[in-house]
């Protein structure tokens, strides 16, 4: 998704803008640009493609100036090319923008009727032209306030002005925006990660806020135009945050560090000596909970689907799951005794955040499971449970998925115990088994050699299917999503029992079919579904912890997983699926850490 950086300094800023844009690359983007103010002239440089390309342009033709804004763009309005890249500048103002202006067509028509000419196909240029008009009679702050009043949609903005050599204005409605502080330098950033290499002192803008930055001071104004103060937060230090070490890319590092991130999370929430979970400050007494509602998007939603089975198996509670983009528009009956759980790696996903806001407006109790503790979703929920996975840089989510499932598992156990749904001895046994998880994940990672062979089968294939039942059904969905997003190959995830209701028609000679089939209560049923696929020529990759001899016939590859408590199998079967997506993408020479059209932090609807 788009990313914003702004720097007001007493020295040249373009190198630091480039460095910060590189930090924002993880969000996924297709063009980049910057604008600085030098000798009262706006200098704009932009390109399609990577920040590296922008850096080359700047190398040939350097851009001076002690004040500037930069942007990485993920196309929404208009194709990804140089003209549509941000900033969008007129003679007197330059704008970078995250989000979508929903009434841009209407505003564009009005401006065109007044004879204004547009250079790009973007919605952002509307803001540039409106501001250019307003600035004829108003100072920058008033011009921004009056322009914002005309805009519908969600956005974050960074703006610089000719004739106002020392100010950057930032504005937030919907899309996140942060300010960073340092000596003789202040910053604007669409997330704290981009600012972390320059400062650990951060404030977040709330919805409707505007900030005015110079190198020496930052002022904040709220929606009612009142000057306000903001809390300054000191960010925790993340060691080695952007280091790939010996790994080829961040994704492989993140896959292979899952035993460690799992251990960290277990140590954080589970008592080392006793078999007990340390959770406090429940927003709602677990005994009073009526229903659990789990909400997320993409991979985070898949972790909710897995958790539905855990909550149903361990507790007596009814459970609902929904993708946030559906939940936020449903005609819901909120109940103050329901616990609404929001799962999000970034904590900034626009749909998840809007769904959370909806719950809050309706007085419902909310819990968030996030990786980024300073995020909007974490700050806005009644109770936050961080997954402690460390920064996830690869756009496709891996270690965050394992972390989300882990916290949901721990939460389901604790709630069931506090409600007396699970007996103490069963509760403690489950915790004991959970402590074995990091070592078992390490064993699963050893499947990599075999997966590399399996991956070759996918190069010629028209598509693929991922099948599972029970807890393995959402894992099949996640396996299919990982393959699609990384290698751009078609993949369907399906409940194995649904195959005969239509999708069997897709099975033909040589189609790779991945069967996630742990030795659980569904085992024999899934094996029968697999036979139906084999009978139609499907090429089977079986992922199982069973050594049942029945299953060895006509199977192309089997990945053997270590044995574990049935309820923990989703963690283990996820690993070979992540490795599969990774190796297929590697063979196809895809951009592993930045797959096409994907964003790390989906801050538009």
If we measure between CA atoms, which residue out of 291, 318, 317, 322 comes closest to residue 304? 322
By CB under 6 A, residue 346 contacts ligand F6R: yes
Classify strands 218-221 and 210-213 as parallel, antiparallel or unpaired.
Answer: antiparallel
Of 369 and 515, nearer to ligand F6R (C-beta) is 369
For residues 140 and 143, give the distance between their C-alpha atoms in angstroms, rounded to a whole number: 5
Contact range with ligand F6R by CB under 6 A, out of 20-28, 294-302, 487-495, 532-540 = 294-302
Q: Is 375 in the site for ligand F6R (CB under 6 A)?
A: no
Distance CA 183, CA 141 (A): 24
Q: How far apart are CA 494 and CA 472, in angstroms?
A: 10
Active site residues: 2, 600
Which residues ranging from 477 to 536 are in contact with ligand F6R (CB under 6 A)?
Answer: 481, 485
Beta-bridged to residue 179, according to DSSP, are 188, 203
User: Number of H helices and number of E strands within the chain?
Assistant: 19, 25
Largest CA-CA distance found in the chain, in angstroms, rounded? 82
| Minimum gap (Å) between residue 128 Cβ and ligand F6R | 29
Concatenating the DSSP letter of every residue in 130-167 gives: HHHHHTTTS-HHHHHHHHHTT--EEEEEEEEETTEEEE
By CB under 6 A, how many residues form the interface with ligand F6R? 15
Interface with ligand F6R, residue 602, by CB under 6 A: yes
Q: From the CB of 398, what's the least distance to ligand F6R, in Å?
A: 8
- What is the smallest separation between the CB atom of 212 and ligand F6R, expressed in angstroms? 30
Of residues 399 and 430, the one with the C-beta less far from ligand F6R = 399
299 is an interface residue for ligand F6R by CB under 6 A: yes
Q: Per rule CB under 6 A, is residue 300 in the interface with ligand F6R? A: yes
Query: Minimum CB separation from ligand F6R for residue 392, in Å?
Result: 8
Which residue's CB comes closest to ligand F6R? Answer: 298
Question: By CB under 6 A, is residue 603 in contact with ligand F6R?
Answer: no
Task: Single out the residue of 127, 156, 396, 568 in contact with ligand F6R (rule: CB under 6 A).
Answer: 396
Tokens coding 376: 């909007």
Tell me how crowded residue 445 is: count the other CB atoms within 10 A of its CB.
16
d(CA 403, CA 260): 11
> How far apart, in whole angstroms, are the C-alpha atoms of residue 265 and residue 386?
9
Q: Which of 98-106, 230-238, 296-304, 312-320 is the region at the interface with ligand F6R (rule: CB under 6 A)?
A: 296-304
Token couple for 388: 């402690």
| Residue 368 binds ligand F6R, judged by CB under 6 A | no
Q: Which of 12, 147, 344, 573 binds ligand F6R (CB under 6 A)?
A: 344
Complex with ligand F6R: residue 6 or 28, whichever CB lies closer: 28
Is residue 542 within 8 A of residue 555, CB to CB? The reply is: yes
Minimum distance from residue 390 beta carbon to ligand F6R (Å): 15
397 lies in the binding site for ligand F6R (CB under 6 A): yes
Distance CA(230)–CA(219), nearest Å, equals 9
- Applying CB under 6 A, among 98, 261, 349, 573 the residue interacting with ligand F6R is 349
The interface with ligand F6R within residues 418-457 (CB under 6 A) comprises none
Among 298, 390, 512, 518, binds ligand F6R (CB under 6 A): 298
d(CA 351, CA 531): 40
Smallest CA-to-CA distance from 156 within 166, 167, 144 is with 144
- Measured distance CA(66)–CA(59) in Å, rounded: 17
| Gap between the Cα atoms of 72 and 85, Å rounded | 8
Taking CB under 6 A as the binding criterion, the range among 27-35, 62-70, 297-305, 405-413 that sits at the site for ligand F6R is 297-305
Q: Is 352 near ligand F6R (CB under 6 A)?
A: yes
- Nearest Cα to Cα of residue 473 among 283, 225, 305: 305
Token pair for residue 67? 């004040």
Q: Kindly state whether residue 476 participates in binding ligand F6R, applying the rule CB under 6 A.
A: no
Task: Choose the stretch contacting ligand F6R; rule: CB under 6 A; options: 72-80, 342-350, 522-530, 535-543.
Answer: 342-350
Q: Does 345 bind ligand F6R (CB under 6 A)?
A: yes
Residue closer to ligand F6R by CB (options 394, 538) is 394
| Residue 261 or 346 having the CB closest to ligand F6R | 346
Which residues make up the interface to ligand F6R (CB under 6 A)? 297-300, 344-346, 349, 352, 396-397, 481, 485, 601-602
């Amino acid at each position: 998704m788009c990313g914003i950086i702004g720097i007001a300094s007493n020295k040249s800023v373009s190198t630091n803008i480039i460095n910060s844009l590189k930090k924002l690359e993880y969000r996924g983007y297709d063009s980049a640009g910057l604008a600085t103010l030098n000798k009262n002239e706006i200098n704009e440089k932009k390109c399609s493609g990577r920040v590296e390309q922008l850096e080359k342009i700047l190398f040939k033709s350097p851009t001076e100036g002690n004040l500037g804004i930069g942007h990485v763009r993920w196309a929404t309005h208009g194709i990804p090319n140089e003209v549509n890249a941000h900033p969008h500048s007129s003679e007197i103002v330059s704008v970078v923008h995250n989000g979508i202006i929903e009434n841009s067509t209407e505003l564009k028509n009005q401006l065109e009727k007044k004879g204004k000419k547009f250079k790009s196909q973007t919605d952002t240029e509307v803001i540039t032209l409106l501001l250019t008009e307003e600035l004829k009679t108003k100072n920058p702050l008033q011009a921004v306030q009056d322009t914002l009043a005309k805009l519908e949609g969600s956005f974050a903005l960074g703006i610089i002005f000719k004739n106002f050599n020392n100010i950057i204005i930032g504005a937030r409605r919907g899309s996140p925006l942060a300010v960073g502080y340092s000596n003789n330098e202040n910053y604007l950033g669409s997330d704290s990660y981009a600012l972390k290499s320059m400062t650990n002192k951060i404030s977040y803008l709330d919805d409707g806020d505007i900030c005015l930055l110079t190198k020496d001071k930052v002022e904040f104004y709220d929606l009612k135009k009142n000057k306000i103060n903001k809390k300054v937060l000191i960010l925790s230090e993340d060691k080695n945050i952007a280091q790939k070490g010996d790994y080829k890319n961040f994704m492989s590092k993140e896959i292979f560090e899952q035993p460690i991130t799992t251990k960290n999370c277990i140590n954080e929430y589970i008592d080392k000596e006793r078999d007990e979970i340390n959770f406090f400050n429940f927003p709602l007494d677990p005994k009073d909970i009526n229903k659990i509602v789990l909400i997320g998007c993409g991979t985070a939603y898949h972790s909710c689907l897995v958790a539905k089975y855990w909550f149903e198996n361990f507790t007596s509670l009814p459970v609902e799951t929904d993708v946030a983009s559906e939940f936020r528009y449903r005609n819901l009956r909120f109940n103050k005794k329901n616990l609404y759980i929001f799962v999000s790696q970034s904590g900034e996903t626009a749909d998840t955040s809007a769904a959370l806001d909806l719950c809050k407006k309706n007085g419902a109790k909310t819990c968030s499971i996030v990786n980024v503790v300073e995020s909007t979703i974490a700050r806005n929920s009644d109770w936050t449970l961080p997954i402690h996975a460390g920064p996830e840089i690869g756009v496709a989510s891996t270690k965050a998925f394992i972390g989300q499932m882990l916290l949901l598992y721990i939460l389901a156990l604790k709630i069931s115990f506090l409600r007396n749904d699970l007996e103490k001895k069963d509760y403690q046994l489950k915790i004991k088994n959970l402590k074995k998880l990091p070592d078992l994940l390490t064993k699963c990672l050893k499947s990599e050699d075999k997966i590399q062979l399996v991956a070759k089968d996918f190069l010629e294939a028209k598509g693929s299917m991922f099948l599972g039942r029970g807890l393995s059904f959402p894992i099949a969905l996640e396996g299919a999503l990982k393959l699609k997003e990384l290698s751009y190959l078609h993949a369907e995830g399906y409940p194995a029992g649904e195959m005969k209701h239509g999708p069997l028609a897709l099975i033909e000679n040589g189609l790779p079919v991945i069967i996630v089939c742990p030795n659980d209560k569904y085992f024999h049923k899934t094996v029968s579904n697999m036979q139906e696929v084999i009978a139609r020529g499907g090429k089977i990759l079986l992922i199982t912890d069973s050594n049942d001899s029945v299953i060895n016939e006509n199977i192309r590859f089997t990945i053997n997983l270590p044995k574990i408590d049935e309820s923990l199998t989703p963690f283990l079967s996820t690993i070979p699926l992540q490795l599969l997506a990774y190796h297929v993408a590697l063979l196809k020479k895809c951009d592993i850490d930045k797959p096409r059209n994907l964003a790390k932090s989906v801050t538009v609807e």
